[in-house]
Copies of this chain bind each other. A is one copy, B any other.
Amino acid sequence: MVEPTSGPVDRRRRRRKDARPQEIIAAGLAEFAERGFAATRLEDVATRAGIVKGTIYRYFGSKEALFEAALSSGMGPACETLQESVADNDGSTIDLLRSMIRQLYKLLFTPDVELLARIIISEGRRFPAVAELYHRLLVSRGRDILHRIVERGLARGELLPSPFCATPEVLVSPVIMALVWHMVFDGFAPIEPERFLEAHLDLLERALSRRDA
């Protein structure tokens, strides 16, 4: 009944043993980003991962568990990237901000990270635990960095106190808009992130340059 054809050993199986959970997570991430949590079928995740539905349950207790694992797993790397990005930079305030914004574009338009962001934006509200994690690990850190830069700028006299220094998030908002636009309208009205970045940096420059006057 069984057909032991393949000569030596099924190489695929061996190689995969350890990678399995990661493969499932990657497949899940892709499917969740494409269809949303509710509309994603575990069957499709399995197929994409090259396995069978039941196998998912060896690693994840439920669809929801996979969802959360997938999201959590993606945050680590993104988090590190963020970390390094502005560490120990001694430039001027505007250089720091410019650098940070460039990093953000690079980060958020990285395929994996974009999947993550998409899912968070789409489903975050229905999965507060995940949204909270995302917020804690990424958003709130980024925010802290931003605040620190601005405060340093104020302290150095490179920035003048004004309402937008109290809410410097607005400085990064264009990249969020680009992301959302890309997520929703890209099929028929694509944007070029580069142009957005350029305009973004231009806006930044203008916003901070007043001091020069």
Q: Residues of A at under 8 Å CB distance from B?
A: 34-39, 118, 120-126, 128, 131-132, 135, 139-140, 162-164, 166-174, 176-178, 180-181, 183-189, 195-196, 198-203, 206-210, 212-213
Bound complex: CA A123 to CA B35 (Å)? 9
Instruction: State whether A177 touches B187 (Cβ < 8 A).
Output: no
23 A-B contacts (beta carbon < 8 Å): A38-B38, A38-B39, A121-B122, A124-B184, A125-B183, A125-B184, A125-B186, A131-B188, A139-B189, A140-B189, A162-B202, A166-B195, A169-B174, A169-B181, A169-B196, A172-B177, A173-B176, A173-B178, A176-B176, A203-B203, A206-B208, A206-B210, A207-B207
Q: Are B174 and A132 in contact (CB under 8 A)?
A: no
> How many monomers of this protein are in the complex?
4
With A36-B126, A169-B177, A176-B180 known, 14 other A-B pairs at CB within 8 A are A34-B126, A36-B36, A38-B38, A122-B123, A131-B185, A135-B185, A135-B188, A163-B198, A167-B196, A169-B199, A170-B177, A170-B200, A203-B207, A209-B210
